[in-house]
């Protein structure tokens, strides 16, 4: 069959607004996920067993249940038993955020335990209290060391957001499906979508490398 990429041009405005949806979901999820991951990682390194159990349980749930199932649960399931209603965007963002929090907290935990005990001792010897010590001394160093895996998390989050098409939010994938059903063409739209994602991810990787280099500048002796 003849390939006709001109249809992509016709749909460019739709792709544009869909791209915004994808990026908005990804960025919101990442930020929210980071915010959740910090207390979660602190639970994991805590000496208080119930906090550890909670964090372990949380992580195992979000790792163990397929992401699509989590999305359906949040959007269709939860509103039936709890007095909450989510838009597709809210449900998707919440699930992706909680999901990436599980993964980020795991690497953050690794980052925290990799920090030399001398850093804690120096902070304690200066009379610094635990919350300030974590916020100003330990976490900044830990986050720096997990930055590469954070970029990876950003990338997989970006790709995972295609799942929100399944609860009716018009993201890039959804536009592709619309083109397919209107024009009966599948290769062109999905090829275009592949290129979109590929370029985005490539851009992110480059950005991540640059960021990594910048924050590491202070460490090089």
Partner 1 sequence: MIEVKGLYKDFGALHVLRGVSLNVEQGDIISIIGPSGSGKSTLLRSINLLEKPTYGEIWVEGKLITPPDPYLHWDVIRASHTYAALRAEGMDDEPAILKIKKEDLLKPHEGSAYNHLMKQIVKDHFEDTYSVRRRVGMVFQHFNLFPHMTVLENMIYAPMKVNKVSREAAVEKARALLNDVGMLSKIDAYPGKLSGGQKQRVAIARTLAMEPDIVLFDEPTSALDPEMVKEVLDVIKKLAETGMTMILVTHEMGFAREVSDRICFLDEGTLIEDAPPDVFFTTPKSTRAKEFLDKVL
Binding site for partner 1 (CB under 8 A): 116, 118-119, 121-129, 132, 136-137, 140-141, 144, 218-221
In whole angstroms, how close is the CB of 126 to partner 1 at the nearest point? 4
Helix axes 12-45, 49-64, angle to 10 degrees: 150
Give the shortest CB-221-to-partner 1 separation in angstroms.
4
Residue 150 or 193 with smaller CB distance to partner 1: 150
Residue 91 vs 139, nearer CB to partner 1: 139
Q: Measured from the CB of residue 176, what is the shortest distance to partner 1 in angstroms?
A: 44
Between CA 170 and CA 20 the distance in angstroms is 10
Nearer to partner 1 by C-beta: 49 or 129? 129
Least gap, CB of 141 to partner 1 (angstroms)? 6
Q: How far is the CB of 133 from partner 1 (least distance, A)?
A: 9
In the bound state with partner 1, the residue whose beta carbon lies nearer, of 85 and 213, is 213
> Are 71 and 95 a contacting pair, CB within 8 Å?
yes
Residue 190: how many other CB atoms lie within 10 Å: 15
For partner 1, the closer CB: 28 or 128: 128
Measured distance between the N- and C-terminal CA atoms of the chain, rounded to whole angstroms:
61
Helices (H), the chain: 6-10, 12-45, 49-64, 67-72, 78-81, 88-113, 117-125, 130-132, 139-160, 172-183, 187-216
Instruction: State CA 38 to chain mean position distance.
Output: 14
Nearer Cβ to partner 1 (90/141) = 141
Nearest to 139 by CA among 121, 122, 114, 157: 114
Q: How far is the CB of 150 from partner 1 (least distance, A)?
A: 16
> Quick one: 125 or 210, whose CB is closer to partner 1?
125
Minimum CB separation from partner 1 for residue 140, in Å? 5
Dihedral (Cα; 100, 105, 106, 111), 10-degree rounding: 130
Q: Which two tokens stand for residue 4?
A: 């006709």
């Amino acid at each position: 069959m003849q390939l006709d990429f001109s249809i992509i041009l016709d749909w460019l405005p739709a792709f544009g607004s869909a791209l915004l949806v994808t990026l908005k979901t990804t960025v919101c999820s990442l930020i929210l996920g980071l915010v959740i991951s910090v207390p979660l990682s602190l639970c994991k390194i805590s000496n208080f067993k119930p906090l550890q159990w909670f964090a372990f349980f949380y992580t195992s749930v979000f790792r163990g249940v397929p992401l699509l199932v989590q999305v359906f649960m949040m959007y269709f399931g939860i509103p039936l038993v709890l007095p909450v209603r989510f838009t597709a965007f809210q449900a998707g963002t919440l699930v992706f955020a909680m999901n990436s929090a599980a993964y980020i907290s795991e690497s953050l935990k690794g980052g925290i335990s990799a920090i030399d005990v001398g850093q804690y001792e120096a902070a304690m010897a200066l009379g610094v209290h635990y919350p300030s010590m974590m916020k100003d001394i330990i976490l900044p160093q830990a986050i720096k060391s997990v930055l590469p895996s954070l970029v990876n998390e950003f990338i997989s989050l970006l790709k995972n957001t295609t799942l929100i098409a399944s609860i009716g939010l018009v993201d890039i994938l959804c536009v592709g499906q619309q083109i397919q059903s209107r024009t009966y063409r599948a290769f062109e739209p999905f090829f275009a979508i592949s290129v979109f994602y590929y370029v985005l991810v490539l851009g992110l990787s480059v950005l991540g490398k640059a960021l990594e280099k910048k924050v590491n500048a202070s460490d090089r002796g």
